[in-house]
Amino acid sequence: MNRQQLIEQIRQKKSYLCVGLDTDITKIPKHLLKESDPVFAFNKVIIDATRDYCVAYKINTAFYEALGLKGWEAMEKTVKYIGKDHFTIADAKRGDIGNTSDQYAKAFFETLPFDSVTVAPYMGEDSVKPFLQYPGKWAIVLGLTSNKGAVDFELKKAGDGLLYEKVLQTASGWGNPGNLMFVVGATQADEFINIRKLTPDHFYLVPGVGAQGGSLKEISEKAMNKDVGILVNASRAIIYASGGEDFAEAAQKVAKEYQEEMASYLIA
């Protein structure tokens, strides 16, 4: 999905919601465990319940890799089931020397049909470039994350500013606003105005709303640009809205609430 297609989906649905499929087999409703592929069975129902209210799905690959071959099969079936009308994110946080990153890019863009993959920029340009060579595909570079450990490196002084600022400024030159996004955590809302000044045209993937306490209102006010420019991810708050047999209805209700709140900010 290219940039214009993504913007059109956002405008059409009046939503910039990304549903995180961080599917933990120990947390899905017990009645699904009798299915031949419980993870995919859960994901399929969640996707059907939420697809009208979101524009993207983010698959955290760790939850699938932990299950071995069955997990990879569930991930492949899930991303194919989502289809091409939603932006798909492999939250894999890859990034290695060039020839290794080249294989990671093939894994997620050729073997698996993801639109994007999250990438760690620590090893520099040659570790990210392979993800930027596919038309219509995106690298989503870690910028300023929502975890407590962000203070260990990202928020340290580096020259005249902070390290994360250096990352944003440098990495934005590796690609363009049509193939490179940044991860910016919702709990870092105070930094969004500065971040938008540094990268005025790029999209941000914003995790940390919901269970992690980020404010959708605050993010929308501070991070949005003329093309909206943000994908706000909610995972646990939606997919685990209920642990019972009504989990689909509960997930749909929460996703709809997010969409309606987002619509109000788009109108404003």
Residues involved in catalysis: 93
Write the CA distances from 45 to 12, 81, 169, integer angstroms.
23, 11, 40
DSSP SS3 for 137? coil
Token representation of residue 251: 């997930």
DSSP letter string, 193-218: HHHHHHSTT--EEE--BSTT-B-HHH
* Residue whose pair of structure tokens reads 């997620």 in the numeric block: 108
Give dist(CA 170, CA 178) in Å, integer.
16
Write the CA distances from 217 to 177, 195, 220, 224, 264, integer angstroms.
24, 17, 5, 11, 10
247 membership: H or E segment, kind and range: helix 247-267
